């Protein structure tokens, strides 16, 4: 404004000094009025142009601000996240030599089988938590004090990203190696050399139905996963979310029946949304994602085998499993929980518990879970995220991670062989060449349970299992570290 006044006064022949102080008292009242009228007109013109620019480029500006927010969140929250990259073994093979005990061999892997993965995860998290306590965290004017109030009480998340070697099914090349670097998405698009025009063009290309289905666990409620849903909507406000309630009060029966009910509910939900989009130009693409907690993961995988959902398998996008018993309850080390399972099977005759413990048939290869692992319920997802916790005693650690179990390596019975086949069948689906790019992650969440003390909930592992529903901080860390997987 001083520059404008200077230019006007100099053009008017008024002497202006070398300093920024302008001797306005040398002007008459009419000249002052004319001067301020010129200044106000120019400010009004600048403001109107500013508003016009924002109206024209509203989407691009919001995208840019959103990316800056992503960048800031990842930078601030990265201290609670440990990144690592582990290559998935090609196969788990059982040796059949007669002069040596049968054991499991991990092909193309550097991890040693005899190491206890639960203790490894707990010790790594404890060391990381101690290092956080020694950090000096800068305070800011705007900060989430729920996280920064007491940093030592925040969950520590260990993210294992896996290098995928997936054959390219439409190219002459034989192999395609796809790997996500731990922080490869930390910079916003402008800083990565991407233009705003490219991102904003996706909004003009047509309506995309991004549907997310949330499935609760045993004796759960449809609002159990509302905190995770809320974080998803913060990343993708346009997502259409369904908190499944078709199996409320009906989670003790047969998984096949529960899966069929869920499939009907999902198809009806998708049809409603597609009809809604048809009123606004139609739906050109569908992205279907699933989030499950506990046995809700078994229910949704069972639903994916239903004929009604077959037309939507090509639209599967992201699958986030939160403490799901994908390999059942074999080799569970929680004796208290195992006793509870036995009581539920004996006294209440819950079919789902028989299926989770492989007691639904005398032949393990005729059981529900063995057959489910052979069905292609995972290979159509472009992103697979398995969230587990070594503190969760309700779901075996290896079962939630789809990982090798140390106890099975010394099991020479048919059970050990069946377990290996189930694990290989699941990993084969993840390696299947149905997608140009597939992201597979294992996320270990270590909660701070110091405030809970030594209670029955912590002893039986229930506290960590329920903490997944009552604490969404771990979901923030995972989602804001890899936002592209949730949009």
* Full domain range(s) for residue 163: 82-136+144-205+323-486
Element (H, E) at 440: strand 439-446
pLDDT the model gives residue 375? 94
Residue 172 located in a structural domain: yes
Residue 303 located in a structural domain: no
User: What's the whole-model pTM score?
Assistant: 0.76
Distance CA 445, CA 443 (A): 6
Total number of domains in the chain? 1
Look at strands 81-85 and 156-161 and give their pairing.
parallel
pLDDT the model gives residue 24? 52
Residues of the chain with pLDDT under 70: 1-27, 93-115, 137-146, 148-149, 163-206, 335-338, 340, 345-349, 434-436, 451-453
Mapped onto helix, strand or coil, the DSSP state of residue 104 is strand
Mapped onto helix, strand or coil, the DSSP state of residue 29 is helix
pLDDT the model gives residue 425? 92
CB 431 within 8 A of CB 143: no
DSSP assignment letter at 97: -
pLDDT the model gives residue 157? 92
Residue 224 located in a structural domain: no
pLDDT digits (tens, 9 = 90+) for 367-411: 999 999 999 999 999 999 999 999 998 899 999 999 888 888 777
CB burial class (10 A; 0-12, 13-18, 19+) of residue 461?
buried
Residue 328 located in a structural domain: yes
């996240």: which residue's tokens? 81
Residue 276 located in a structural domain: no
Distance CA 208, CA 345 (A): 45
- Could you please report the per-residue DSSP string of 262-279? HHHHHHHHHHHHHHHHHT
Residue 352 located in a structural domain: yes
Residue 248 located in a structural domain: no
Residue 372 located in a structural domain: yes
pLDDT digits (tens, 9 = 90+) for 222-259: 999 999 999 999 889 999 999 999 999 999 899 999 99
């Amino acid at each position: 404004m001083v520059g404008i006044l200077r230019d006007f006064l100099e053009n008017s022949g008024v002497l202006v000094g070398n300093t920024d102080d302008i001797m306005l008292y040398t002007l008459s009242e009419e000249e002052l009025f004319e001067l301020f009228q010129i200044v106000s007109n120019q400010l009004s013109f600048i403001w109107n142009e500013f508003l016009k620019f924002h109206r024209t480029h509203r989407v691009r500006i919001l995208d840019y601000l959103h990316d800056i927010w992503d960048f800031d969140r990842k930078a601030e929250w990265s201290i609670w996240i440990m990144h690592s990259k582990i290559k998935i073994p090609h196969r788990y093979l059982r040796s059949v030599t007669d002069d040596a005990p049968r054991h499991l061999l991990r092909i193309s892997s550097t991890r040693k089988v005899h190491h206890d993965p639960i203790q490894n995860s707990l010790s790594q998290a404890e060391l990381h938590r101690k290092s956080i306590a020694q950090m000096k965290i800068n305070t800011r004017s705007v900060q989430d004090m729920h996280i920064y109030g007491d940093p030592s009480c925040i969950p520590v998340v260990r993210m294992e990203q896996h290098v995928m070697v997936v054959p390219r099914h439409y190219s002459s090349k034989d192999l395609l190696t796809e790997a996500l670097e731990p922080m490869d998405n930390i910079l916003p698009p402008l800083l990565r050399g991407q233009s705003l025009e490219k991102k904003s063009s996706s909004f003009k290309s047509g309506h995309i139905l991004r549907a997310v289905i949330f499935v609760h666990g045993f004796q759960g409620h449809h609002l159990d996963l509302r905190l995770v849903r809320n974080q998803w909507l913060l990343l993708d406000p346009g997502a259409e979310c369904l908190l499944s309630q078709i199996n409320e009060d009906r989670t003790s029966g047969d998984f096949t029946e529960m899966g069929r009910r869920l499939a009907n509910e999902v198809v009806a939900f998708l049809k409603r949304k597609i009809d809604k989009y048809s009123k606004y130009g139609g739906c050109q693409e569908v992205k279907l994602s699933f989030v499950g907690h506990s046995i809700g993961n078994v229910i949704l995988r069972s639903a994916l085998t239903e004929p009604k959902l077959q037309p939507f398998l090509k639209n599967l996008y992201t699958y986030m499993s939160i403490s799901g018993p994908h390999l059942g309850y074999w080799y569970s080390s929680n004796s208290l929980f195992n006793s509870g399972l036995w009581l539920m099977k004996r006294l209440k005759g819950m079919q789902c518990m028989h299926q989770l413990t492989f007691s639904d048939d005398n032949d393990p290869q005729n059981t529900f879970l063995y057959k489910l692992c052979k069905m292609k319920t995972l290979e159509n997802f472009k992103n697979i995220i398995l969230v587990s916790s070594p503190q969760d005693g309700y779901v075996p650690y290896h079962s939630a991670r789809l990982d090798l179990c140390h106890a099975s390596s010394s099991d020479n019975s048919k059970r050990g062989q069946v377990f290996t086949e189930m694990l290989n069948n699941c990993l084969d689906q993840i390696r299947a060449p149905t997608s140009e790019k597939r992201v597979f992650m294992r996320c270990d969440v270590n909660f701070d349970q110091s405030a809970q003390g030594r209670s029955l909930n912590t002893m039986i592992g229930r506290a960590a299992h329920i903490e997944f529903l009552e604490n969404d901080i771990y979901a923030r860390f995972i989602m804001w570290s890899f936002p592209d997987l949730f949009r």
